[in-house]
Structure 1
Amino acid sequence: MLSVMRYDVPASLVVFLVAVPLSLGISVASGAPIAAGLVAAVVGGVVAGALGGSVVQVSGPAAGLALVVSELVHTFGWRATCMITVFAGALQVLLGVFRVARAALGVSPAVVHGMLAGVGVVIALSQLHIVLGGKPQSSAVDNLLTLPYQIMNNHGHAVMIGLITIMVMLVWGRLPKVRAVPAPLAALLIAAVPAALFGCLTKVDLSGGFSSLQHPMLPQGEVLAIVSAVLLVSLLAGVESLLTCVASDRMHPGPRANLDRELAAQGVANVVSGACGGLPVAGVVVRTTTNVRAGARSRWSTVLHGVWILLFTVCFGWLIALIPMEALAALLMFIGVQMVNLGHARNLRSHREMPIYFVTMGGVVLIGLAEGVAIGLGLAALLALRRLTGVSVQARESGGRWRVVVSGSLTFLAVPRLTRALAAIPPGAAVALDLDIDFMDNAAFEALQAWRVQHERGGGTVDVDEQHGDWYATAVGGTRVSAGKTHTRHDRWWQPWAHRRTAGAPEQPLESQESQESVPDLLEGTREFQRRTAPRMRPLLHGMAREQAPSHLFIACADSRIVPNIITASGPGDLFTARNVGNLVPRAASAPAGESVTAAIEYAVSVLKVKTITVCGHSGCGAMAALLGKAPDLPGLRGWLRHAEHSLERFHSAERSLHPDENGEGEPLDRLCRINVIQQLDNLRTHPLVDHMVRDGRLELTGLYFDIGAARVHVLEREGFTPVPEMRTH
C-alpha cells in the first residue's frame, strides 16, 4: 500500500489530467455525445485496468477508432453503434478465451502504423475546418478540396482560439517549470480564457452529464454490414491494444504482459462501455506512456485514473462547458498530425516496408478505413510472398568456364528467369551450377533437369553444388523431399576435402575420375574459396588490408586436426597465430637468435598490443609421444623437443607423486599433453617483456586443451582442467 500511495496515486492524477481533454476531443471527432468519451475513459481505466494483462497499460477512447465510430454513427446511429461496441467486446472476450491474441500480432506493423497515420490525416483535415470556423465535409477528399476556400475567408476569433491552442501544445513541453500540468489540459484552460472574454464561441455541451446517455439498441440494416462493423471494431481495437501492450513491456521493468488476458479484459470493457453508452475502448499509447513516465508501479494507477475521471464528471462536469469547441478541434488536429509518426516510417524503411505504410495511409484517406486496411494487408501479403519466393540467378563466364549462382527459393515463379539465364550459356560449355537455395519445387526442378540433360547431350558438363539441403540431389534420386524450407548448411567450409561431395553430379568415366584425382585438393579448395567465400568476405577483408589489430596471440600445435579459428569461433583479424610442433615456447635463456616463436611473441606484445596470450595443446600430440619414446626418432624433431625437457621433467615429477593405486586422469600421453601447456605458460614468464606486462595487469596468459575425440575445449589450470561450458538456448 505504501508503494501505491508513493508511486501509483501521483501517476494516476497525471494520467487523469491527460485523459479528460483527450476523451472529450475524441468524442467530438467521433460524432458521439460528449459524455460517451468520458464513459469510455472511466470503463477503460477501472474495468480494463483491473482485469487486464498489463500492469501499466491505460485504456480508453482511442483516436485511431474515431473514424470508424464516426462512419458507424453516420450509418447506423449512435445507439446502434453502442450495441455494435457490445458485440465487438463479446467477440474480443471469445478471442481472448481461445488464446488467439498472439495471432493479432501477425498483422504487419506497417499496416497498423499506416492506418493510424491515415486516420490522423482524416481527423486533422476535418478538425481544421472547425478551427477555421466552418464545418467538416463528408470525406477527407472533400475536406481537402474545400480547404482553400475555407482558408480565404475571415474567421475572426475562431482562428485565434485554435492558434492559441496549437501554440500552447507546441511550446508547453519546453517550459521546464510547468511540465507538471499536461500540455492538452493547459492548452484547453488557456484557450478558455479568451473564449470567455469574447463570449461568442461554441461551448462544449455536457448538460445532463452521464444521465444524458442513451441505452444501446439493435442496429438495423444488412446483416453483412453489421457483422463487418463488429469485426472491424473488434479487430482494430484489439490489435491497437495488443501492440500498445507489447510496447508497454519495453517501458518498464515490472511483470510482462499476458496478451490473452489483456484481450479478454478489453472485450469486457467494451461490453460495459457500449452498454453504458460509451465509445469503444482500446489501449492508448499516449496515456500508457504518460503512466509509465509518471512512475506507475502497478495497475492501481490505471484504475484510480478512471475513478478520478468519474468523480470529476459527477462533481465538476459544469467546468467542461467552459471549453470552446474550437479549442477541442485544434487539440484533435494536433493529435491527428502527431499520428503521422515519421519515426515509424523511418523504422519501416530499413525493412523495405515503406510502400505498405504509404499505400495503407493513402487508402484510408482517399477511400475509407476498411478499404485502406484491406489494401495494405493485401500489399503486405504480396511483398511477403515476393520475398519468400524471391530468387537471384547470376550467370558469368570466366576463363572458358561458366558459373551460375542461384540464390533464394526456387519455385515456379522463378522458372522464366532461370531458363532465360541458362539459355545464354553456349552449347558445350563447362558449367559450375551453385544452388544456394532453401527450397525447390517440382516445376523448378523439371526446368533445371531438362536444361542439364540437353546441355550434356550437346557435349557440355554441369557440376551441381548445393549449399543448403540437397533439394536437387534428392529430386534426382526420386526421394521424397521435405515440405518446408531448409536452413543454411554450415558443414561446407569446415569439413575435410575428402568429406565433400558434389551434389547430384553424374557418374564420371574412369578416365575423368583419374584426371580429377590428379588435381591437388589444395588447388580445388582455393577455387572453392574464390568462387563462393571470397565474394562474401571481400568487403570485410578490404577494411583490414592495411593493418591488423588482433586481441590474442594464439600459440598452437602444427597438428592438422587443430584449426584455431574453428575451436575459438573466431574470424579474420581476431588471432595472431604461431604454430609449431608441440605448441612449445622456448625459454628466453635457451631460445636461439631469430627463433620464430620468440619473434612472434615480441611482435604481438610490442607492436600489436595483444591483451592475451593463449597456449593451446591437444590430445594425442605426436611431439609429446616422441618425448615418451612412442614415436619415430627424427633428428630435427629431437633437436626441437629439447625445449620440452622441462615439460617431461614436470610430468615425471607428477607421476612419482601419484599413489600406487592411482592411475592419474586419463592416459599418460594425454596427461603429458596437458602438463606441457602449463609448462609453456611458465616458459612465457621467462621472457622479461611478457613477465613485466603480466605483473602490471596488461597481459593475461591462458591455457587451452582440445580433446580431439570428444571435440571438447578445456581451460587448463595448475590444479586441473575445466571444460568450457556450452551456451544453452531456451
Structure 2
Amino acid sequence: MPTMSTSHSPPASSPAPERSTWKSILHHDLPASLVVFLIAIPLSLGIAAASGAPLIAGLVAAVVGGVVAGALGGSPLQVSGPAAGLTVVVAGLVGQYGWAATAGITCAAGLLQILLGVTRIGRLALSLSPAVVHGMLAGIGVTIAVQQLHVVLGGKAQSSLIANLAALPGQLMAHHGHSVLVGVLTIVILLAWPRLPRAKVIPAPLVAVVTATALAAVFMVDVTRVDLPDQPLQELILPTMPGGPPLEIFTAVLTVALVASVESLLSAVAVDKLHRGKRSNLDRELIGQGAANAVSGALGGMPVTGVIVRSSTNVAAGARTRASAIMHGLWIAAFVLAAGAMLELIPMAALAGVLLVTGLRLVQLAHIRTLKRHDELLVYVVTAAGVALLGLAEGVLIGLVLAIARVLYRLARATVTASEENGLWTVRIQGTLVFLGVASLVRTLRTIPVGAPVRVELEVDHLDHAAYEAIEDWRRGHLARGGSVELNRAAFRAAMSTDSARRLPWQPQVIPEPDQRASMLDGIREFEASADLIRPMLAKLAADGQRPAQLFITCADSRIVPNMITTSGPGEQFCVRNIGNLVPPKGSNSNSVDAAIEYAVDVLGVRSIVVCGHSHCGAAAAALEANAPAGSGLQNWLRHLEPSVRRAVGMPDIVDPATDAKLSPADKLSVANVGVQLANLRSFACVRKAENEGRLELIGLWFDIGAAAARLVLDREPYLVRADEELAAAGKSSKR
C-alpha cells in the first residue's frame, strides 16, 4: 500500500464536523432520519411485544425518545427509544403492577435521572465494572432470545427463562408452519443481508420485516399480526400510582433509572467513537434521557434509553447534528397517525425474529475474549447467569459483589518474595500493597535469618500506611538484632503519595528534599537498580544506532514529557525542545533548529514531524503581555511568535472538544502557534520534498496539562479535535 502524503490535518476525504445549518440538515440529517425511522418502527414494536406492553407504548417511546432526548440530550448523534436492555425489567413490572402503574414508574424514574444529571453524579454509572455491564447485557440477551424463540415457533413466551426452557420441547413438537416460516425467513435475512456487497445502505431489519410482511400478506392469512388501536391517541393508557410497599416501588423506580442511565451513557460513549464531531456531555445526556422518560411515562409510553443500534445507523447514514434524531421521532408520529393500518400487516413472528437476533447480539464474543484476557470472565459469566436465572437486579448485585471481592482478593495477595544470593537477601514487593496484604508481607519478612544483610526492592502502585508501618517495624527490629537493611526512601515516599502511579524510568520524580543534587543521584541509583528490563534494548540501540520514526518539536516547559504523552521509549523519537516550540522559517539564523530538522529528515529519514504546543504556556503569555526584558535573548526569541499572535487575533474562539470550554487567550495563541510552525516547516526544502514524495507527514498536537489530554490541531474549524478519533479516522481513510 503506498504511503499517503498528508499534512498535519487529516485527509480531505475524512468528513469534518459541520455547523447546524439548514443546508447541512437537508443534505445530511434529513436522509439519515428517514433511515433511522425505518429501522426504529420494527424494533419499537418488537420490544414492546417482548415486554408485554401495549404496542402503541413502544411507538410512543420511540417518538418521545427521538424528539425530547434528541433535543435536550448531551450526545448530538445518539438516537433514543425503547431498548432491548430493559425488556426483562419492563416485563417484570407489567406482570407485577400492570401497565398503567409501569408507566407511572417510568415517569418517576425519569425524574430521578434528571436529579442524577443535575447533581453531576450520573457519570458514576460508568464506574461499573465492564464485566458486570456486559454480563448484564448478555443475560438480558439470552433471556430475550429464548423468549422470542417461542413466538417465532408460533407460541407464547413464558414468564421466566427457566419456564421458557421447560416449555421449549413442547413448542418444538407443535406445528405452526406459517409462523415458523415467517420467523426463520426474518432471521435468515437479518444474518445474510449485511454480507451482501453494498447492501448495508438499507438496514437489514427493515428488509427482513418488509419481506416477511409481503410474503405473509400474499400467502398466509392465519399468522398473528400487529394489533394497533384504531384511534391511537384515544387509546393511550395514562400512568397511575403503583400499589404496594413503598420500598418495592422505590426499588422498581431505581432499577429502571439505573439500567436506563447505564445503557444510555455507555451507548453515548460508544457513539462518540464512531464520529469526529462534538463529544457527549454525559450529565446533560442524563438530563435529556430523564426528561424523555418523564414525558414517555406521562403519555403511557415505555422507558427510553440511548440505543446503539439506531445510533450507529444514524452515524453511518451521514447524520451531522441532533436534527436527525428529532426528525426520526416526528416521522414515526406522522406514520402512526396517518398510516397505522400498514403496521397491522406485520406478522408478530417477524418482529420476534428481529428481537431474537438482537438478543443474541448482546452476547458479543469480542467482549468475552477481552474479559478473558484480563481475567474478568468469571464476573461476566456469573452476572449473565444471575440476570438470566434470578432477575436483573439480583444478577447485577451478585456480579458487583463478586467483582469487589476479586479486587479485595488481589489487593490482599500482593507479590512479596525473599531470595538469597551470595549471602545477600533481596525482598521484592510488587503490586498494590495495603493493609489486606500485611499478614503475607510479615510472614515473608520473618523467613529472613537474624543478622542477614537485606535489600528491599519496591515495585508497587500504592503502599498504604499500615503496610509502610509493617516494613518499618521489621526494619528497626532487624537492625537491632545486628542485620542491615538497604531500601530506597524515595521509592517509598512516591508509593505512599496519594496521587502516585507506577513510574516509568523516563517519567518525572517528585521528591520533597532540599538537596536536589542528592535527589537526582537517588533517582539515578533507583534507575540503575531497576534497569535490567531495558538494558538489553539499550545495548542493542547502542550497537545499531538510532532509527527514530518521528521528529518531535515541543516546548522546553518542564511539565511536558514527550515520551509520556506518546507512550514511546528510547530510540523512537528525535526530540527538539525550545521556548515556545518554535520553528523559525529557513534563513532566520536559527542554526540549532535548522540543523535538527535537516538531520532528522535527510539523515535519519523520519516519517513524521510533530509540533506539540501546550496549555499554560509561559512563552504565549509573555508574547501577549510583551513583558520580556528589553534587549534580552528571550525578547529576541519571542519575536518569532509575532506571526502566531497575528493569526490568533483573526481566529474565532476555540473550544476544547471534550469539555466545550472556551480556551483562554494564551491557550488560543498556543494552538494558533502550532499551525504557524507547521507552515514554517515547509520553508525547508528537505521537508517539502519528503512531504511531496509521500515520505513525511506533518502533525500538529496540543497538550492540555491539567487534563492530561492530547488534542490534534487542524488548520480549520474546530481547530482542536480528540487525537485518538482523528488519527483513527485518518488511518481508515489511508486504507481505502
Secondary structure of the residue that 1:468 maps to in structure 2?
helix
Are residue 238 (structure 1) and residue 261 (structure 2) matched? yes
C-alpha contact 2:413 2:440 (8 A) present in aligned 1: no
Distance 2:498 2:319 in 1: 49
After superposition, the CA RMSD in angstroms is 4.0
Are residue 95 (structure 1) and residue 116 (structure 2) matched? yes
Among residues 427, 449, 453, which one is paired with 1:430 in the alignment?
453
Change beyond 3 A, Cα 1:541–1:146: farther
Secondary structure of the residue that 1:103 maps to in structure 2?
helix
Aligned to 1:652: none
Larger radius of gyration: 1
Distance 2:172 2:421 in 1: 67
Distance 1:526 1:5 in 2: 63
- Higher RCO (Cα < 8 Å, 6 or more apart): 2
Deviation at 1:3, TM superposition (A): 1.8
Aligned to 1:374: 397
Are residue 198 (structure 1) and residue 220 (structure 2) matched? yes
C-alpha contact 2:488 2:526 (8 A) present in aligned 1: no
Secondary structure of the residue that 1:136 maps to in structure 2?
coil
Distance 1:235 1:349 in 2: 26
Distance 1:260 1:271 in 2: 17
Structure 1: give runs of 5+ residues left out of the alignment: 473-480, 503-520, 553-565, 577-604, 613-661, 667-694, 701-724
* Counterpart residue type for residue 48 of structure 2: S
Deviation string, structure 1 residues 333-355 (Cα, Å, up to 9, x no partner): 01101111222333444544333
Aligned to 2:530: 532
Are residue 74 (structure 1) and residue 95 (structure 2) matched? yes
* Counterpart residue type for residue 346 of structure 1: R
* Percentage of matched positions with identical amino acids: 49
Aligned to 2:52: 31
Distance 2:274 2:385 in 1: 31
* Counterpart residue type for residue 73 of structure 1: V
C-alpha contact 1:469 1:486 (8 A) present in aligned 2: no
* Counterpart residue type for residue 78 of structure 2: Q
Deviation string, structure 1 residues 357-415 (Cα, Å, up to 9, x no partner): 22221211121100111122223333444556662212121111111111333322112
* Counterpart residue type for residue 533 of structure 1: A
Distance 2:484 2:531 in 1: 23
Q: How does 1:291-690 map to 2 (within 5 A)?
A: 291-386=314-409, 391-437=414-460, 439-470=462-493, 488=503, 490-491=508-509, 499-500=517-518, 531-534=529-532, 536-537=533-534, 540=537, 547-551=544-548, 573=571, 610-611=604-605
Deviation at 1:247, TM superposition (A): 2.2
Change beyond 3 A, Cα 1:696–1:311: closer
Deviation at 1:163, TM superposition (A): 0.9
**TM-score, normalised by the number of residues in structure 1:** 0.69
C-alpha contact 1:611 1:698 (8 A) present in aligned 2: no
Are residue 207 (structure 1) and residue 229 (structure 2) matched? yes
Aligned to 2:613: none
* Counterpart residue type for residue 212 of structure 1: E
Distance 1:256 1:401 in 2: 56
Distance 2:368 2:156 in 1: 31
* Counterpart residue type for residue 99 of structure 1: R
Are residue 138 (structure 1) and residue 138 (structure 2) matched? no
Deviation at 1:538, TM superposition (A): 5.0
Equivalenced residue count is 563
Deviation at 1:178, TM superposition (A): 4.9
Distance 1:161 1:486 in 2: 58
Deviation at 1:427, TM superposition (A): 2.3
Deviation at 1:282, TM superposition (A): 0.8
Among residues 253, 273, 278, which one is paired with 1:250 in the alignment?
273
Distance 1:696 1:37 in 2: 64
Aligned to 2:291: 268
Among residues 153, 165, 187, which one is paired with 1:166 in the alignment?
187
Among residues 142, 153, 157, which one is paired with 2:178 in the alignment?
157
C-alpha contact 2:264 2:306 (8 A) present in aligned 1: yes
Aligned to 2:36: 15
Secondary structure of the residue that 1:393 maps to in structure 2?
strand
Deviation at 1:50, TM superposition (A): 1.6
Change beyond 3 A, Cα 1:237–1:457: same
Distance 2:380 2:168 in 1: 25
* Counterpart residue type for residue 313 of structure 1: V
C-alpha contact 2:411 2:436 (8 A) present in aligned 1: no
Distance 1:454 1:107 in 2: 44
Distance 1:199 1:116 in 2: 36
Distance 2:248 2:452 in 1: 64
Aligned to 1:703: none
Structure 2: give runs of 5+ residues left out of the alignment: 1-21, 550-560, 575-598, 607-629, 635-683, 690-701, 708-736
Distance 2:456 2:162 in 1: 55
Deviation at 1:132, TM superposition (A): 1.9
* Counterpart residue type for residue 44 of structure 1: G
Aligned to 1:284: 307
Distance 1:220 1:386 in 2: 43
Change beyond 3 A, Cα 1:441–1:14: closer
* Counterpart residue type for residue 537 of structure 1: I
Change beyond 3 A, Cα 1:168–1:380: same
Distance 1:340 1:726 in 2: 38
Distance 1:63 1:437 in 2: 43
Aligned to 1:562: none
Change beyond 3 A, Cα 1:152–1:539: farther
Deviation string, structure 1 residues 44-69 (Cα, Å, up to 9, x no partner): 11111122222211111011011100
Deviation at 1:698, TM superposition (A): 10
Distance 1:272 1:331 in 2: 27
Aligned to 1:517: none
Secondary structure of the residue that 1:397 maps to in structure 2?
strand
Distance 1:86 1:201 in 2: 35
Secondary structure of the residue that 2:486 maps to in structure 1?
strand
Distance 1:309 1:492 in 2: 60
Deviation string, structure 1 residues 141-172 (Cα, Å, up to 9, x no partner): 23234434433444422222111010111112
Distance 2:167 2:535 in 1: 58
Distance 2:417 2:32 in 1: 60
Deviation at 1:295, TM superposition (A): 1.0
Distance 2:391 2:343 in 1: 32
Are residue 122 (structure 1) and residue 143 (structure 2) matched? yes
Aligned to 1:717: none
Aligned to 1:644: none
Among residues 109, 112, 118, which one is paired with 2:130 in the alignment?
109
C-alpha contact 1:76 1:219 (8 A) present in aligned 2: yes
Deviation at 1:80, TM superposition (A): 0.4
Using the TM superposition, name which of 189-198 and 237-246 deviates more: 189-198
Distance 1:255 1:449 in 2: 52
Deviation string, structure 1 residues 213-255 (Cα, Å, up to 9, x no partner): 2111110111111000001111111121122222222222332
C-alpha contact 2:113 2:287 (8 A) present in aligned 1: yes
* Counterpart residue type for residue 137 of structure 2: L
Secondary structure of the residue that 2:151 maps to in structure 1?
helix
**TM-score, normalised by the number of residues in structure 2:** 0.69
